[in-house]
Amino acid sequence: MEAGHEYPEIEIFVREKKEKETAMKTRIRFLLIVILFSLISPTVVACTSFILDNNGFAVFGANFDNRIHEGLLFINKRNVAKTLLDPGTTGEYAEWTSKYGSVTFNVVGYQFAYAGMNEAGLVISTMALDITENPAPDERAPLETAIWVQYQLDNASTTQEVIASDSVVRIANTTDHYLVSDKTGSSAAIEFIEGKMVVHTDEAMPVKALTNNTYEESVSSWEKSRWWMFWRLLEKRFWKSSLIRFETAADRVRSFNDNGKDKAVEYAFDTLKKTCDDAESNPTQWSMVFDTENLKIHFHTRTNPEVRSITLTMLDFSCTTPVGMLDIHQDLSGDISNDFMPYSPEVNLNHFLRFFEEYGLVDISPEETKELTEHLESFECSELKE
């Protein structure tokens, strides 16, 4: 070999490999953004969440109101090492190993959490907020909205830990705000306004509820509503705007008396019924109640009105066993903790493909969709590395 020979064929191979990896990352990031915006429409403004204080524990209720009815449940495992492909301005990627197992309600597919509870009793739910303004790119690694929710359930046991995560990761491409509670009932409404995280918690949170106006605007309207009670009663009868739903939920939260877990769950479902959306264009698809004291999730759907329950203490969150998954509308009732099927890449991919076929705003090939799902499935169990 001659000294200084550069072997251009190797350089070309390396360059092509890097270009291919860059192109894949770009396509996956594009898909993440498309998934987000394919969920958004002018009518997606009717979700409601609230938190009851049940003898020092949170009972968290949430309605998912949307034209989209499909959904999957996932049992997400602890000790899974995850890396995303979109860096911050310094080139750093979001990397973490999940501390907690969780059960999530996912609209699109695996890792795209809309709502859920982890084994520490942390609960989070998502609602649209049209004045949301995302933080500008900086050194923090970005997480798209649904993956941001999964990140919190992977890593946080308290509401304060969720708030503190803003110094580590940056939410990206969100049009939402979030209600969060931990097992003790410590709660927060988290919004992103003018590019900054805005948090209402403790003394700055006079009532634990959230719909689709800012928390500040909602509380202001609720506090003023008693001055025009007659007109408000008419509005509540004939029109369920975001502010009306907030006032209904807030009144119910304020009037709740601690009567034990069974009645708290029943009261929560009754509150969800009073705040549900009856519009055919945007009906209530799922109603969920999270009981943090007993680590139980109760829910029913528009397609299957039978109440089903999941007991987190009965689940295996070890990452040495398969992720669990289940169609949210499965024809089941009662406790379904043992009815989850092992994770199926084919089922997850087909769910993605059906979603894009029915709701996607742009044409996306099955190959591109498969690239995304395969990346999210490639996260490894740290226990198996040892």
The pLDDT tens digits of the residues spanning 280-318 come to 667 899 999 999 999 999 999 999 999 999 999 999 999
Run of H or E including 131: none
Nearest to 169 by CA among 79, 76, 80, 96: 96
Nearest to 59 by CA among 298, 307, 301: 298
Euclidean distance between the first and final Cα of the chain, in Å? Answer: 42
Please list, in sequence order, all residues whose beta carbon lies within 8 angstroms of the beta carbon of residue 12, skipping any fewer than 6 positions away.
none
Based on DSSP, count helices (H) and strands (E) in the chain, helices before strands.
Answer: 10, 21
Burial of 329 by CB count in 10 Å (0-12 exposed, 13-18 middle, 19+ buried)? middle
Tokens standing for 71?
């959904």
Q: What residues does 64 pair with on adjacent strands?
A: 286
Run of H or E including 51: strand 48-54
Q: What residues does 143 pair with on adjacent strands?
A: 171
Q: DSSP letters along 132-150, please?
A: --PPPP-SSEEEEHHHHHH
Compute the Cα dihedral for 306, 312, 315, 320 and give only its sign.
Answer: positive
Please list, in sequence order, all residues whose beta carbon lies within 8 angstroms of the beta carbon of residue 104, skipping any fewer than 6 positions away.
73, 74, 76, 113, 114, 115, 116, 149, 150, 153
How far is the CA of 118 from the CAs of 147, 308, 312, in angstroms? 15, 18, 8
Nearest to 94 by CA among 107, 81, 109: 81
Percentage of the chain beyond pLDDT 70 is 80
What does the H/E/C string look like for 208-224? CEECCCCHHHHHHHHHH
Burial of 309 by CB count in 10 Å (0-12 exposed, 13-18 middle, 19+ buried)? middle
Burial of 342 by CB count in 10 Å (0-12 exposed, 13-18 middle, 19+ buried)? exposed
The pLDDT tens digits of the residues spanning 354-385 come to 887 777 655 677 888 888 889 899 999 997 76
pTM above 0.75, yes or no: yes
pLDDT in tens, the chain (386 residues): 444 444 444 444 344 444 445 555 655 665 666 566 555 544 445 799 999 999 899 999 999 998 888 899 999 999 999 998 788 899 888 999 999 999 999 998 999 999 999 999 999 999 999 999 999 999 999 999 999 999 999 999 999 999 999 999 999 989 999 999 999 999 999 999 999 999 999 889 999 999 999 999 999 999 887 655 544 555 555 456 899 999 999 999 999 976 555 699 999 999 999 998 666 667 899 999 999 999 999 999 999 999 999 999 999 999 999 999 999 999 999 999 999 999 999 999 999 888 877 776 556 778 888 888 898 999 999 977 65
Nearest to 280 by CA among 300, 307, 304, 302: 302
Reduce the DSSP state of residue 101 to 3 states and report it.
coil
Domains of the chain by residue range: 8-385
How far is the CA of 3 from the CAs of 7, 9, 12, 66, 227, in angstroms? 11, 17, 20, 66, 88
The listed CATH number (3.60.60.10, 1.10.10.10, 3.50.30.30, 3.40.50.720) that belongs to domain 8-385: 3.60.60.10
Angle between helices 345-359 and 8-38 (to 10 degrees): 60
Q: What is the pLDDT of residue 73?
A: 98
Run of H or E including 159: helix 159-164
Q: What is the pLDDT of residue 39?
A: 58
On whether the CB atoms of residues 343 and 324 are closer than 8 A, the answer is yes
Nearest to 68 by CA among 276, 285, 278, 363: 285
Compute the Cα dihedral for 114, 117, 120, 122 and give only its sign.
Answer: positive
Run of H or E including 375: helix 366-377
